Amino acid sequence: MKKLWAGRFAEKTAKAVEHFTESISFDRRLWRYDIEGSIAHAKMLGKQKIIPQKDSSAIITGLKNIAKEIESGKFGFAPELEDIHMNIEAVLIKNIGDAGKKLHTARSRNDQVALDLRLYLRAETKEIISLIKDLQKTILNTAEKNTGLIMPGYTHLQKAQPILLSHHLLAYIEMLLRDRERFEGSLKRINVLPLGSCALAGTSLPVDRVYVAKLLGFKAVAENSIDAVSDRDFAIEFLTNAAMLMIHLSRLAEELILWSTEEFSFIELPDAFTTGSSIMPQKKNPDVAELIRGKSGRVFGNMIALMTIMKGLPLAYNRDLQEDKTPVFDAVDNVKSCLTVLAQMMPQIKFMREKMRESAGKAYSTATDVAEYLVRKGIPFRQAHEITGKIVRYCIKNKKELGEVSLAEFRNFSNVISKDIYPRLSAESSVNAKISRGGTSPSEVKKQINKLQQRLGERAKR
Residues known to be catalytic: 156, 277
Evaluate whether 126 touches 44 at the Cβ level (below 8 Å).
Answer: no
Largest Cα separation within the chain, whole Å, is 101
HSE on the CB side for 441, CA within 13 Å?
12
Q: What φ, ψ does residue 320 adopt, rounded to 5°? A: -50, -30
